[in-house]
Amino acid sequence: MMRRFVHIALVFAVCGLSVLACDRAPKEPENTVAPAASQSAASSQSAAMPAQAQPAPANKEDFRVPGAKRLVAIGDLHGDLAATKRALVLAGAIDEQGAWVGKDLVIVQTGDQLDRGNDEAEILSLLKRLQEEARSAGGAVHVLNGNHEAMNVLGDFRYVTPQAFAAFDGASPPSPHAAHAAAEMQGRAGAFLPGGAVALELAERPLILVVGDTAFAHAGILPAHVRFGIDRLNQHNAAWMRGEKATPPALVMDPDGPLWTRIYGAPTLSPAVCAVLDETLQLLGVRRLVIGHTVQEQGMSGACDDRVFRIDVGLSRYYGERRTQVLEITADGARILGAP
């Protein structure tokens, strides 16, 4: 009860007068797909764009980066450093000592590094170091924000383990919103609430990214998201995490938004859902979509003739370390690496 009270207080501190809008963030458990969820999302997906929103003006589209000779996508990590390293080794990105050996390899990690496990600080540090090492070698490591990153910036710490809670004590600069937190949460709040040291790092990450002919998001992309403006969404989210905007983008809180939607997560997708996917891909001008968020009980899978790949396989010990798999994308197409 006390943790729930503190959560409400922190969300109020972050969201201010818009607390009711902020507190509409979907609640977990987050790995169940309601039988009708995909159909309802397919029929009402346009509602995900706020009524007042207009399409973003054309620009250079910062959410797009060039394609790669070899691209590997990794799903949800949830605070498990050992699982993270296993996936990176399987991808050919690092050696057993954790050094970058991928040369010009490009890695995309689709969010949810945080929560459910004890190793959050180590994972964030590893990914930051690998970004620098990959860049020096001619490769790249792109890390997306997932719903759990957004939840922590909102002050929703329900899924933080006791060991991880104190791992960010003393992070500087602290968020100015941390003063509203209970004493035992000051360290975490100071690091993660808007303007805090970790929130500033998360602000550098996109919600949606396109690498060559492949789009990436934590949970999914709908036509309404594209029409709203991908750069517009990424930039607003970054400004909120930096403490420059009082509230997150509405799509960050929307159950049908790119951090929460389940439309593409079900084992079998209907023709109606595949049609929504096709429209999304056409609007983006890409060949495929890659998402995490919904654990695939039978391992990574493609759907809609492999126009969407679902890559959250429950890597972390929280989910029983079901399997280690990554998705490799080359000029020959996409293939799943690792045991099924």
Please report whether residue 214 resides in a domain: yes
Please report whether residue 149 resides in a domain: no
In whole angstroms, give the CA distance from residue 90 to residue 94. Answer: 9
- Active-site residue flag, 180: no
Please report whether residue 186 resides in a domain: no
Strands 301-303 and 308-310: antiparallel
Please report whether residue 213 resides in a domain: yes
The pLDDT-based confidence of 59 (bands split at 50, 70, 90) is low
pLDDT at residue 28, as a whole number: 61
Please report whether residue 212 resides in a domain: yes
Nearest to 87 by CA among 67, 98, 160: 98
Nearest to 150 by CA among 107, 85, 109, 206: 206
Please report whether residue 28 resides in a domain: no
CA dihedral 61, 309, 161, 79 (to 10 degrees): -80
Domain that holds residue 104: 38-144+203-337
Outline where DSSP puts E strands in the chain.
64-65, 71-74, 106-109, 140-143, 208-211, 214-217, 288-291, 301-303, 308-310, 326-330, 333-337
Please report whether residue 27 resides in a domain: no
Please report, for the domain that includes residue 331, its CATH number: 3.60.21.10
- Helix (H) / strand (E) containing 19: helix 19-22
Total tally of structural domains belonging to the chain: 1
Q: How do residues 160-209 score in pLDDT, each as one tens digit?
A: 999 999 999 999 999 999 998 998 899 999 999 999 999 999 999 999 99
Q: How do residues 258-309 score in pLDDT, each as one tens digit?
A: 999 999 999 999 999 999 999 999 999 999 999 999 999 999 999 999 999 9
* Tokens 């003393």 belong to residue: 170
Please report whether residue 117 resides in a domain: yes
Catalytic position from the list 7, 78, 148, 218? 148
Calculate mean pLDDT across residues 236-258.
97
